[in-house]
Amino acid sequence: MFQRLRSDFRLSIITLLGLSGFLGITPFAVLRFHQGDVVTGVVDVLILCGVCGGVVYAWVTGDTRRSGLVMAIVASFGSVVVAGLVGDPGLFWLYPCLITSFFLTPPRVAIAINVSAVVLMVALGDAFSGLEQMGSFVSTALVVSACAFVFASRNEDQRRRLEHLATIDPLTGVKNRRAMDEELAIAQAHATRTGISCALILLDIDHFKQINDEYGHSVGDEVLVDLVNVLRKNTRKSDQLFRYGGEEFVLLVPAIDGVGLKTVIGNLQQLLRNHVKHPGGSITASFGVAELDWGERVESWLARADDALYQAKETGRDRAVFAEPRIRAVPQSA
């Protein structure tokens, strides 16, 4: 549980806000019933149900976007209804909701929810003691929302940039090894769920050091960029390419069998020869290929592809070696 909270930022925010909402609202719900204000008490209980339901939904399904949206809508519009019922003490509740919308939903959605809540509050009118109070409320609520929007948008932008820096190889623009680890885990989980396997093609340029030594590092860089362009143009959209290390790349190919893999590799060898050039000629590469076995862990899958690549290098390069399957445990339902 703590591991999930640590690794999923949105889930931890939803849990924290859900808990704060529960602790903040429950005493008032009890108070309303105690005072005989059943209607407001029921509204408080409905808000509590929406907030707690959102947290439970996020934990069970992992869908933090939908649960965040539901929680933001329930909290904001619930506060408007409460303010309409209890008058100006209820106005204060909308401010934390205006802020938390930005934690629970993307900035544009949050601003739409906030503006709608403020408009609804004004349209109902019951919460205000006079025009001046209404004007003050609208101004302050919009200022709070605007500040939170700027802050959340900057945050979102920085998060995207950091994610890009952390997952994209700056030279070639393909995903790096870190991103690959995540994608392989997703592919493995998908294969386990559906019974549809996938394959890893580990590709390593032959004698790349020689290219660097003879023509310079920048020529080596150009070769890597050309290789990636050729691979990107000539593989399916569903295939994913990663830079595994210096001159080593991984192609993750979903739903393919041995015959398909042989065709793919034959095409790639041809493409490298014809389209990835350096002053001394064209490049060749060695390939280690491994189909994911049923129930196999990612580490073992990668290790088999790595061993196959090693054999391809050892037995002369410019060739593909297919990894032996492990002892298969056939899926019961497939």
CB of 278 to ligand GTP, least distance (A): 11
CB of 240 to ligand GTP, least distance (A): 20
Helices 177-194 and 131-167: crossing angle in degrees, nearest 10, is 100
C-beta closer to ligand GTP: residue 200 or 223 = 223
C-beta closer to ligand GTP: residue 29 or 202 = 202
CB of 290 to ligand GTP, least distance (A): 18
CB 313 within 8 A of CB 204: yes
CB of 179 to ligand GTP, least distance (A): 17
- Dist CA 292 CA 302 (whole Å): 9
* Closest to 170 in 3D by CA, of 219, 224, 239, 215: 224
Cβ-count burial of 230 within 10 angstroms (0-12 exposed, 13-18 middle, 19+ buried)? middle
C-beta closer to ligand GTP: residue 173 or 246 = 246
| Tokens, residue 89 | 């003490």
Name residues whose C-beta falls within 8 Å of residue 101's C-beta, 6 or more positions apart in sequence: 72, 75, 76, 109, 110, 113, 114, 148
CB 320 within 8 A of CB 287: yes
CB of 262 to ligand GTP, least distance (A): 22
Binding site for ligand GTP (CB under 6 A): 171, 204-210, 212, 217, 220-221, 224, 246-247, 313, 317
* 247 carries an active-site annotation: yes
C-beta closer to ligand GTP: residue 102 or 208 = 208
- Dist CA 302 CA 287 (whole Å): 13
C-beta closer to ligand GTP: residue 206 or 296 = 206
Please tell me whether residue 329 adopts helix, strand or coil conformation: coil
**Four-residue CA torsion sign, 105, 107, 108, 111:** positive
Of 163, 183, 247, 299, the active-site residue reads: 247
Query: So which residues are the catalytic ones?
Result: 247
